Structure formats: C-alpha cells, structure tokens
Chains A and B, each alone.
Chain A
Amino acid sequence: MKDEIAVQLTGITKRFGPVTANSAVTMDVRRGEVLALLGENGSGKTTLMNMLSGIYFPDEGTIEINGTPASIRSPKDAFDLGIGMIHQHFKLVDVFTAAENIILGLPGKSRLNMRAVKEKIRGICEKYGFEVDPDRKVYNMSVSEKQTLEIVKVLYRGADILILDEPTAVLTPQETERLFGVIRNMRADGKSVIIITHKLHEVMEISDRVAILRRGKYITTLETKDADERSLAEAMVGEKLALNIDRSEPKNTTLRLEVKHLSCYNAEGIPTLSGVSFDAYGGEILGIAGISGCGQKELLESIAGLQQTRPGSSVLYYPDGGEAEELIGKSPREIRGLGVALSFVPEDRLGMGLVGSMGMTDNMMLKSYDMGAPVFLHKKDPSALAGAVRDDLGVVTPSLSTPVRRLSGGNVQKVLVGREISEAPTVLLTAYAVRGLDINTSYSIYRLLNEQKEKGVAVIYVGEDIDVLLELCDRILILCGGVVSGIVDAKSTSKEEIGLYMTKVGGPSDTDKSAGDYTDGNEENDGNKGKEDGR
C-alpha cells in the first residue's frame, strides 16, 4: 500500500508567454503519504499543482494517475480522477450554505435532496474529525471553517489525492494543529496528501517526504526523517550565484527614515505588519526580503502614505538639516513633496504608477499636472523630461506619445523609475523593480539604483531574488509574516541564512552567531533593536 505510486509526473513543462513556470518536472506521489512541496515564491509549486487539478494544461509532459496516463483538461476531469485541490483563495460561493457549496456541480437527480446530502456530510465529518455545520452560510464562516469546508467538499467528491495550497498561511497555531490531525486521519485512510508550503517546521512536523522545486525546476525529493531545516533551506534557495553587481561602499550615510512600531491591519482585520522598526540611511541600499505577502507592500505603502496604519506607528523623516517630520498622517502628496518617491511594480506592471494607454509624456505629467498655467496643460517640461528619460535610460519607444503599455516590460520599468528619479528624491522606494525583466535590463536598473545611492539617496529595494539582494544591497531586512525577522549585513550573510530568516522569525535557531557577525557599528545595532521589537 505504502509504496504504490498515486501520481507520476514526467517532464512537465508550462510556459506563460516568455516565462517558464515549470520546466521538465518529474516527480511522484505515493499512496497514503503526506508529501510536502517546498519552494520559494515563483518556484512553480502552485502552477505545477494547478496542472494536476485542471486549472492549467501542461505544454509538455505526461501525468499518470494510479499508473494510467491521464489528460486533465478541466477541474471536472480532476474530480473524476479523484484529485481535489484546496486553493489558497477559497473557491466557495459566499451566499450559499456549506451543504450547497459541497454539492455544487455534482451530477445527480435534478431535484435536490438536501437531507440526504447533509447526512453524507455528517458521515464524512465523523470519519475524519471535522466540524462543519451544513446549514451555515459561508459568509458567516471564519477562514478556518472555510478551509475545513473546502476539504470536506473535496472528500465528498471521493478524492483520494488531496492538494492543499499553503493551508496554514491563514490559520492560527491551534487551527493548524487541528488541520494536521485531520491530515493524519486522511493519511491513515490511505489518501495521498500534497501540501504546498514554505514553512520548514511544518514540513518537518507533518510530511513523510519533501519534494523541492527551485525556479520552476524539480530539485530533489527527500525523506523527511533524513532531512533537517537547514538542509531543506539550502535545497530550497540553492547555491549562491555570482552576479557581479557593482557595489560601492556606502559613504556619508545620514539617517533619513526612522520607522518605529509600524503596524497595519488588512481589510479583514488581520495584522499585515506588526511592530516593524528599522532605520534607512542616505547613501545605502536597504534590501527587503521575504516570502511574498509578508507585508512588503504594506510597508512601502505606509511610508508613502497609501496605507492606513495602526495607532502608535511612526515613520520619521529627516530632511537635510531640518527637523524630523512625522510621515504618518500626511497625505501621499505631502510625503512626495518631502522627497519620498515610491516606484512600485505590482504584479500587473501597469496597475500602479503608470497609465498604460497614455504615452511617456502624459505619464510624466501624472506627477506634475498641476504645474504651469491654470486650465490648460503645460506639456513642455514633461515632454522634455520624457525625452531625457528616454535618452538617459535608453527607453526603446517609437515616440513619446506611444502608449506605454505597448512597450516591453523593461522599458515600462525604465519609464517608471526614470520619472521617480527625476524628482531628485532623498528616499527612493522600489518594489519588485526587476520583476519579469531580462538580465541586461535588470542590470541597467541596478545601475540606476546604485547611481542614486552614490548621490546620497536612501534606497529601499524590495526584491524577490536573494542573489540580487545579496549583491546589490548594503543591508537586508527580512520580513516574515509582517514581523521583522532579522536585519543582516548583505556582505557577510549567506543565502541560506536569509532563507532561514524568511521561513522562521528570528532566523537560524543555532544562536552561536553573535549579532556582531553581521553588524558593524551603530546603525546595525539599531537594526537589531528593530528585530527585537518585531518579535
């Protein structure tokens, strides 16, 4: 029973346009085991599993379920093969009851017999130890209840292979314990459970084997009992790549930003940032690392005045030779006037910062539309600026009035960064500045950031690629679940150390490393204080 192969993936490749999300992944899942699928952001875990659950169809490769080749073209095909996926964003209809959600889309007699359905649901709940009220409406449920409902829904359809996409991301520790109990019951019942995760201690606690993906490629599968957190983190982040980004020593560092006890809640009232404290200095690049959704966006938005912060949060800005200014409570425009520029690259590049259907000149004007004479637009200066940005940064565009959405990603990025830099900011915030860009364009962005640093600008660089963070930044702040997990010196830290900080607040558990190892001087001590506050 134990060694029977439930799922065999062979040479699975999936591309989205020019981006390869999975490349020739070959792996297997056994019957009656809990397999953890481990990897960084963008390593292709969810995409791979979406191909099992019928959301995507692989470009290349074959899938075998219980030894038979399968073509999974839709979620329905997946159900028919006994595969059920619990997505990170629950696929539940809010105004329906639990029972209605469970039977949704199932074949059967046209007339609904809700009584029989509820009977069956109770049976499943008793068997595995769930608590679900079939008549409860989804919009009245907590996140944990919704997740339970999703699992019951999948089991009701007779799934033998369950895929859970980061199931514990939204759960409290107690709820996680309960979930793990249920997962163990399912394993005992002979079901295969795949858990997508990047939390190492959970991998150690629940899984039988761990499969590791890195940048879309399958790395290895380890028996959990033979692995430890350090070896997993190493396999997850991989060997350090030499990028040879020029990095000058920070000079004339002056305190620019002092962030203290910054906390934010999201719309659901869940903390996205708690007690974040750190300093940023002019003349250095502060990198911000972390698994996506750990508060990076909220952090930058709070500084730029776009985010509602909790009482007690404080962001002090030190202008040249002036009094410290409190940025919390100021409008984005006032903050911009002080010289804080935010260049934010959201997932859809044009979503924030630029208007896709407008040309370069018009996009330059987004920040200067109120200059010049009243009523009529003053186009001369923005046009000159657009020209300068094009020539200085080498933006390839047919004309200054070509809609920016028709430019390639790298060029769009240059337009955005160019505009922000042109304001001669004293603090430059960038998020995912090189997302989706090719190597050469990425390097020109790094060069731009370094130039700004040399000019004495305090650059905050939120990045995904640890290799880049290590070579570009002077210090790296690691966020983990909205908390400052650590602030390290980029020159003396290691990739694996950052990986551990990203997955666990406080980072490496072996505390033989003294703080002095990756700090030099006063400023870093401040940084460590931030870490303490964070916890």
Chain B
Amino acid sequence: MSPLISWLHSSIIYGTVIMLGALGEILTEKSGHLNLGVPGLMYLGGFAGFASAFVYERSTEDPNVVLLILIPLLASFAAAMLGGLLYSFMTVTLRANQNVTGLALTSLGVGIGTFGSARLLSVTGSTSYSVASATSAVYTANVNASLDLGAFGQIFLSYGFLTYAAILLAILAELFLMRTRRGLNLRAVGEDPAAADAAGINVTLYKYVATAIGGGICGIGGFYYIIEYSNGKWSSQNGLEAIGWLAVALVIFSTWKPKNTPAASYLFALLFWMATNLPTLTGIRIATSVTELLKMTPYVVTILVLIIASTRKKKENQGPASLGKTYFREER
C-alpha cells in the first residue's frame, strides 16, 4: 500500500471504532442521560467479545464460522448492555448523579478488562498479549484480499464486514430518530421528560432501553477495536479508554446527529494518524518533539469543536435540552 492509502486505511478502521462508540452514546444522550462510562463500556464489550472468542477457539478443533461471528458479537453487546443497565438503574431509578456514575462505570469497565486480561495471560502463558486468530480472520475477511482491485479496493473494500455495518447502523439510527414514532418519543424524553410524560410516554422505559442498547453498541465498538484494529490481540494496555473519550467528544462534533458520525469520525481518525503519516507522505523529516505536537491535533480539534458547538445558536444543533438532568415526576 502507498503511504496515502495506508493512512486512509488505518483512519477508516480507527474511525469506525470511534463511530460505534459515538453512535451508542448518541442513542443514550437522546434519552437525556450523559453516560461518561463510554470508555468503560467499550472496555467491557471489547474484553467480553475477545474473551468469549478466545475461549471458544480453544474449546474446539474446528471452529464454526457462524459461531465465530455470533458468540463474540453477542457477548460484547450483552456485556456492555449490562453496563448500560447498571448505569440506568443508578441514574434513572436511584436518581444518582449522572457524571459521577458514568466516571465510576469507566473505572469499573477498565478495571474488569484489566483484571480479566491477567487471567487470560495466565492461561496462554504469554507475558504481553493473548490472541484470537481464527475469529480475527473471520472478522477481517474482505473482498480486496481475494480480488486485487488496486487502489480502489485498498481504500474502499479492504475492511471486515463490521466496518460497513457501522455505516449502515448510522443510517438506521438516523432514520429511527427522525422518521419513526418511537424515535420521536425518544427525542422528546431527552428534550423534555415532563412533556413526554404528560403525553403518555413511558419515560423510564425509554431511558432504560436507549441506555442499554446504546451501551451495547459502544461494546461492539470495543470489540471491533480488538478484532480488526489490533488483529485479534488483547493486551492490558490497549488504548481503548482514550478512544472512549474521543467517542464522547465526537457526539458533540456530530451535533447529536447519527448521519454526521461517519464523516466526523473518519476526519477525527485522519487527524489522529497525521503525526505518523504526514512525514512519510511528504518526505519531510521532522523532529520527535514536533511529532508529539502533531499528535495533539485531534484533541485540539475537539476543543475547537466544543467551542464552536457551544457558541452556535441554532437550537436544533444543540444537545437534548434535559441532557444530564434527573427526572422525577412528582417533584414540585
């Protein structure tokens, strides 16, 4: 691959991870709950997906392709969904502070992942990482690998099916929110739960379901990171947590609209890989210190986006009006 194509390639994979996290968080935030547990949920999902694949691969000589796909996918979704349910139990039912609960969930998820990885390492006997190679092979299988289609294939067709599924998910989420009755109800819950309640919407149910499914999607993002980006290797220091925070920032960058997430996350990832790829691409040798400065770009852009987003006046581009607020019907 040429340096430019390789930059685009890695950005699309990396961007997909952020996109999945952001889509899950958009769904959650549309119900009025700011879940800062995204890094933890991605960790949970990544670990559960990987661990289930790892265990399945070791349990059988001849793994079934369908099971190789289904087991880790469901495991990662379910594990992160449980995390989301825990979060909604704390914040919806017990009305705990959303920020504190979210941060605690991040610590919990990262902790469980790290703890579990130590167990996995002790099984394999390796000191640095464990690997689920068969699963990774299934998930990264792509058209370009079998038919060499040149640059076009390398840029557009060289990814596993989850990469495309993520774009489809963004479109479906957009259609759900904007074109369906349930989507309208969910948006109403996030904007003004009292109004939604008075309109006969089951606010608690909507909050629970949105947070749980949103959490599950974040979890698949974590699993995708392990299986496609890291080629099926799980190590305890794997950078998932940082991506989780980027996903939270990306929600704002996409102005809470799923249709904006693919472009926004790819752009984010391009900036992220700029430091590594720009010097190779342009042939300009730059000092290590400057490389470190370049690595800052996505975060600086995040700050800029936050500034722009908060000065923007249009109400439709703002987050849900009741985001972060706890709703209690009988409050007088």
Q: Which residues of A are interface residues toward B (Cβ below 8 A)?
A: 16, 53, 55-56, 74-76, 79, 85, 87, 90-96, 100-101, 103-106, 108-112, 137, 139, 153, 347
Bound: A139/B313 CA distance, A: 13
Q: Within the complex, which residue of A56, A112, A139 is in contact with B179, where a contact is CB–CB below 8 Å?
A: A112
Contact assessment for A104 and B330 in the assembled complex, using a CB-CB cutoff below 8 Å: no
Q: Within the complex, which residue of B180, B194, B199, B318 is in contact with A104, where a contact is CB–CB below 8 Å?
A: B199
CB-nearest residue of chain A to B185: A105
Contact assessment for B200 and A74 in the assembled complex, using a CB-CB cutoff below 8 Å: yes
Bound: A76/B195 CA distance, A: 12
Contact assessment for A104 and B179 in the assembled complex, using a CB-CB cutoff below 8 Å: no
> Taking the nearest CB of chain B, how far is it from the CB of A3, in angstroms?
31
For B192, B200, B201, B330, the residue with the greatest tally of chain A CB atoms inside 10 Å of its CB is B200
> Taking the nearest CB of chain B, how far is it from the CB of A153, in angstroms?
8
Q: For B180, list chain A residues within 8 Å (CB).
A: 110-112
For B192, B194, B329, the residue with the greatest tally of chain A CB atoms inside 10 Å of its CB is B192
- B155-213 contacts to A, CB under 8 A, are 179-182, 184-185, 187-188, 191-192, 194-202
A139/B315 contact (C-beta < 8 A), A105-B185, A112-B184 known: yes
Contact assessment for A75 and B200 in the assembled complex, using a CB-CB cutoff below 8 Å: yes
**B61 at interface, CB cutoff 8 A:** no
CB-nearest residue of chain A to B321: A94
Q: Within the complex, which residue of A87, A95, A108 is in contact with B181, where a contact is CB–CB below 8 Å?
A: A108
Contact assessment for B315 and A91 in the assembled complex, using a CB-CB cutoff below 8 Å: no
Contact assessment for B200 and A103 in the assembled complex, using a CB-CB cutoff below 8 Å: no
Contact assessment for B330 and A56 in the assembled complex, using a CB-CB cutoff below 8 Å: yes
Interface size on B, residues (CB 8 A): 26
CB-nearest residue of chain B to A57: B330
Contact assessment for A93 and B191 in the assembled complex, using a CB-CB cutoff below 8 Å: yes
The SS class assigned to the A binding surface is loop
> Taking the nearest CB of chain A, how far is it from the CB of B74, in angstroms?
25
CB-nearest residue of chain A to B330: A56
Q: For A94, list chain B residues within 8 Å (CB).
A: 191-192, 315, 321
Bound: A94/B188 CA distance, A: 9
Q: For B62, list chain A residues within 8 Å (CB).
A: none
Q: Within the complex, which residue of A16, A103, A104 is in contact with B196, where a contact is CB–CB below 8 Å?
A: A104
Q: Within the complex, which residue of A92, A109, A112, A347 is in contact with B195, where a contact is CB–CB below 8 Å?
A: A92
Q: Within the complex, which residue of B182, B191, B192, B200 is in contact with A110, where a contact is CB–CB below 8 Å?
A: B182
A-B contact pairs, 8 of them (CB 8 A): A91-B195, A92-B195, A93-B188, A94-B321, A96-B184, A103-B181, A106-B181, A106-B200
Contact assessment for A76 and B200 in the assembled complex, using a CB-CB cutoff below 8 Å: yes
How many cross-chain pairs have Cβ atoms below 8 Å apart between A and B? 80
A75/B198 contact (C-beta < 8 A), A92-B192, A95-B321, A111-B179 known: yes
> Taking the nearest CB of chain B, how far is it from the CB of A89, in angstroms?
8
Contact assessment for A75 and B197 in the assembled complex, using a CB-CB cutoff below 8 Å: yes
Contact assessment for A96 and B198 in the assembled complex, using a CB-CB cutoff below 8 Å: no
> Taking the nearest CB of chain B, how far is it from the CB of A70, in angstroms?
15
Contact assessment for B184 and A95 in the assembled complex, using a CB-CB cutoff below 8 Å: no
Q: For A74, list chain B residues within 8 Å (CB).
A: 200
> Taking the nearest CB of chain B, how far is it from the CB of A88, in angstroms?
12
Bound: A90/B197 CA distance, A: 12
- B87-109 contacts to A, CB under 8 A, are none
> Taking the nearest CB of chain B, how far is it from the CB of A359, in angstroms?
24
Bound: A105/B187 CA distance, A: 11
Bound: A104/B79 CA distance, A: 33
> Taking the nearest CB of chain A, how far is it from the CB of B14, in angstroms?
33
A55/B329 contact (C-beta < 8 A), A104-B184, A105-B188 known: yes
CB-nearest residue of chain B to A78: B200
> Taking the nearest CB of chain A, how far is it from the CB of B316, in angstroms?
6
Contact assessment for B199 and A91 in the assembled complex, using a CB-CB cutoff below 8 Å: yes
Q: Given known contacts A74-B200, A75-B200, A110-B180, what 10 new A-B pairs fall within 8 Å (CB)?
A: A55-B330, A93-B191, A94-B192, A95-B321, A96-B188, A103-B181, A105-B199, A106-B200, A111-B179, A111-B181
Q: Name the 6 nearest CB pairs between A and B, nearest first.
A: A76-B200, A105-B199, A91-B198, A91-B195, A105-B201, A104-B199
Bound: A259/B191 CA distance, A: 42
Contact assessment for B321 and A105 in the assembled complex, using a CB-CB cutoff below 8 Å: no
> Taking the nearest CB of chain B, how far is it from the CB of A326, in angstroms?
37
CB-nearest residue of chain B to A92: B195
What 1/0 mask marks residues of chain B from 296 to 332 whose CB sits below 8 Å from any chain A CB? 0000000000000000000110100100000001101
For A16, A91, A153, the residue with the greatest tally of chain B CB atoms inside 10 Å of its CB is A91
Q: Within the complex, which residue of A87, A137, A347 is in contact with B198, where a contact is CB–CB below 8 Å?
A: A87
Q: For A137, list chain B residues within 8 Å (CB).
A: 315
A93/B185 contact (C-beta < 8 A), A75-B198, A75-B200, A111-B179 known: no
Contact assessment for B315 and A105 in the assembled complex, using a CB-CB cutoff below 8 Å: no
CB-nearest residue of chain A to B176: A110
> Taking the nearest CB of chain B, how far is it from the CB of A99, in angstroms?
10
